[in-house]
Every structure is written in structure tokens, then in C-alpha cells.
């Protein structure tokens, strides 16, 4: 298994989740490699400070287990849509970084500052993993309206950039009755009609989905039968993730167990299983 979404961090009021903890949980869950995502490059997440250089140092100690991503705030370098990020992106690529994220800046997803950064990530060959939130202010994450019109705009404007969607507001859009994540983080009930995620994946080959955390797990289990169909149908565009970042084991373990049980029961095909838990990530990261 290759996990597309993990962190090492300290959240105030919680026991730190350390390098040793991450590797230990990977061993426990049977995960061979994990993408390690920096946090703290944007002011909205500066309490979680674990930067790109930190991720690279962990990678150097465990090159067989860790895949580092890099991150920089779109407002860095002069707060301009003309900022040249390529020297920094190429520098980190030479240090071993295979992608960009977790992008948590609380800006519109189609802000010119972000579009400038996305395009350069595409030039550097780095997929962009982003957290999607519901509004400006109060939390972290890029912002889009119900129906994801901003995301569709950037998918079209940045065709060379691979985008990996994550978090509650993104996964709410698996169902056509959108907007519920603006009221509840984990929408319940059946997927009555396929949502915008599916239509965007069918239209834009550069959109992928990160199935980590409660948001990804809820999306594929809120309507169990539809969840299996979704995984089989979009098997080329989905990535296993856990969001390992704290001591509580519930969701990461549930996600991994779900995929193993779904494979053993035949509810998802062997092809879909292998693609989602490892092959897709290897392909888009070039490893």
C-alpha cells in the first residue's frame, strides 16, 4: 500500500505525532510507503508548523518508506500573480519532493495567486494536493462554491497540472444534492444522483481524489452500494490515504480495513484495489 496523505505535527492540547509514531502506525496498518505532507507554510496553519525541509529530512532518514511533498503559500514571494516559484519547486524536486501540498491557504480556489502557483507546479511535474473549505475565514483550506465552479475553471486553465482533492467540502460533491457540507461535515444518506466530482473526473483527466480522513471514508461508505460502484468506476482517479497525523487510530484503521475487506469480498475488483491502494499514486508521482 502507498498512502497519499500523512503528517508529522504537534497540535496544541494533543500529544505530538512524531516520526516514530508515523512509521509505527504504517507498520501496524501494513503500509509500505507514505507521502509526508508539510503544514505551516500558510498563516492559517502556522500552529502546525512542519515545513518542507522537515519532510525532506525525514525522507533522507527513511528513503524506502517516506515520499516528501513540498509546499509554499501562494502569497509568498511578493503576494503577486507573477511570482516565479519554479526555482524553489525545482530545488525541492532535486531534494526528492514528488508533489506539492497540502495546500491549505484560505483563498478562493481560482484566485490568480493560486492559478499562478498551480501552473508552475505543472511545469515542475508536481501534482497539487489541496484541502477544500467552505468559506473565507475561520479555518484553513481553499474555498469554492457548491458545484465547484472555481475548481472546474482551474482544471481547464491548468491542464498540465494534476489536482488531488481532499476534505469535507470536496467529498460532499460526490452526491448531486450539494451544499450539505456547508451545514454538516459528514453528509449522510444515499447518493441519489452522481455529483460534480464524477462529472469533473469524466471531463478533466487531471482531477484525482484523495480518499483519506473522515471525509473520504464517509464519501464511500454513506451509501455502501454506491461506494463500491464509485470505486470500481473511477478506479483510475482515486488514491488511498489515511491522514495519519494524531494518536487516535479510528479512521486510518477503518479506511485500510475497508479496502482489504472490499477486495476479499469481491465488492471492488482486484484491478480497482491495486490501482487505488498503490498503482495510481506511483503513476502520477513517477516512482
Which CATH class, in words, describes the domain spanning 2-285? alpha beta
Q: Please report the beta strands in the chain, taking only residues with DSSP state E, as ranges in sequence order.
A: 2-6, 33-36, 66-68, 100-103, 128-133, 142-143, 163-166, 207-210, 238-239
Helix axis angle for 149-157 and 112-123, nearest 10°, is: 40
- Given the C-alpha cell 483563498, which residue does it identify? 107
What confidence score (pLDDT) does residue 181 get?
Answer: 46
What cell numbers appear for 246 in the block?
494524531
Of the candidates 119, 128, 126, 131, the residue with the CA atom closest to the CA atom of residue 95: 126
| Contact present, 140 and 44 (Cβ < 8 Å) | yes
Q: Which helix (H) or strand (E) holds 257?
A: helix 250-265
pLDDT by residue for the chain (287 residues), tens only, comes to: 999 999 998 877 678 899 999 999 999 999 999 999 999 888 888 777 899 999 999 999 999 999 999 999 999 999 999 999 999 999 999 999 999 999 999 999 999 999 999 999 999 999 999 999 988 988 899 999 999 999 999 999 999 999 999 999 999 999 987 554 455 678 888 998 889 999 999 999 999 999 999 999 999 999 999 999 999 999 999 999 999 998 666 889 999 999 999 999 999 999 999 999 999 999 999 99
| Contact present, 96 and 59 (Cβ < 8 Å) | yes
Helix axis angle for 86-94 and 112-123, nearest 10°, is: 40
What cell numbers appear for 76 in the block?
509568498
Q: Which residues contact 17 (CB under 8 A, 6 or more apart)?
A: 7, 8, 9, 10, 244, 245, 246, 247
End-to-end distance of the chain based on CA atoms, in angstroms? Answer: 14
Using CA atoms, how far apart are residues 161 and 165, in angstroms rounded to an integer? 13
The DSSP call for residue 2 is E
What confidence score (pLDDT) does residue 138 get?
Answer: 86
Domain limits, the chain: 2-285
**Phi-psi category of 52—alpha, beta or left, where left has phi over 0 and alpha has psi -120 to 50?**
alpha
The model scores a pTM over 0.85: yes
Amino acid at each position: 500500500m502507498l498512502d497519499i496523505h500523512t503528517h508529522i505535527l504537534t497540535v496544541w492540547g494533543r500529544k505530538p505525532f512524531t516520526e516514530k509514531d508515523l512509521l509505527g502506525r504504517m507498520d501496524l496498518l501494513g503500509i509500505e510507503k507514505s507521502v509526508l505532507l508539510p503544514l505551516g507554510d500558510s498563516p492559517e496553519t502556522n500552529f502546525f508548523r512542519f515545513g518542507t525541509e522537515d519532510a525532506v529530512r525525514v525522507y533522507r532518514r527513511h528513503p524506502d518508506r517516506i515520499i516528501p511533498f513540498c509546499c509554499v503559500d501562494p502569497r509568498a514571494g511578493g503576494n503577486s500573480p507573477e511570482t516565479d516559484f519554479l526555482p524553489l519547486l525545482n530545488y525541492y524536486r532535486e531534494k526528492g519532493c514528488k508533489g506539492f501540498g497540502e495546500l491549505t491557504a484560505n483563498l478562493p480556489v481560482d484566485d490568480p495567486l493560486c492559478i499562478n502557483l498551480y501552473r508552475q507546479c505543472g511545469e515542475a511535474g508536481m501534482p497539487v494536493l489541496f484541502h477544500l473549505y467552505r468559506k473565507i475565514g475561520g479555518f484553513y483550506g481553499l474555498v469554492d462554491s457548491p458545484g465547484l465552479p472555481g475548481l472546474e475553471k482551474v482544471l481547464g486553465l491548468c491542464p498540465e497540472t494534476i489536482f488531488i482533492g481532499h476534505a469535507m467540502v470536496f467529498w460532499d460533491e460526490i452526491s448531486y444534492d450539494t451544499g450539505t457540507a456547508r451545514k454538516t461535515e459528514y453528509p449522510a444518506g444515499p447518493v441519489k444522483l452522481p455529483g460534480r466530482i464524477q462529472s469533473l473526473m469524466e471531463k478533466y483527466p487531471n482531477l484525482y481524489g484523495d480518499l483519506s480522513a473522515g471525509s473520504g471514508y464517509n464519501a464511500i461508505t454513506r451509501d455502501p452500494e454506491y461506494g463500491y460502484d464509485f470505486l470500481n468506476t473511477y478506479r483510475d482517479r482515486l488514491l488511498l490515504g489515511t491522514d495519519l497525523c494524531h494518536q487516535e487510530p479510528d479512521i486510518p484503521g477503518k479506511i485500510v480495513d475497508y479496502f482489504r475487506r472490499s477486495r476479499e469480498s469481491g465488492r471492488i475488483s482486484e484491478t480497482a484495489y491495486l490501482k487505488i491502494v498503490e498503482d495510481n499514486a506511483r503513476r502520477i508521482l513517477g516512482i
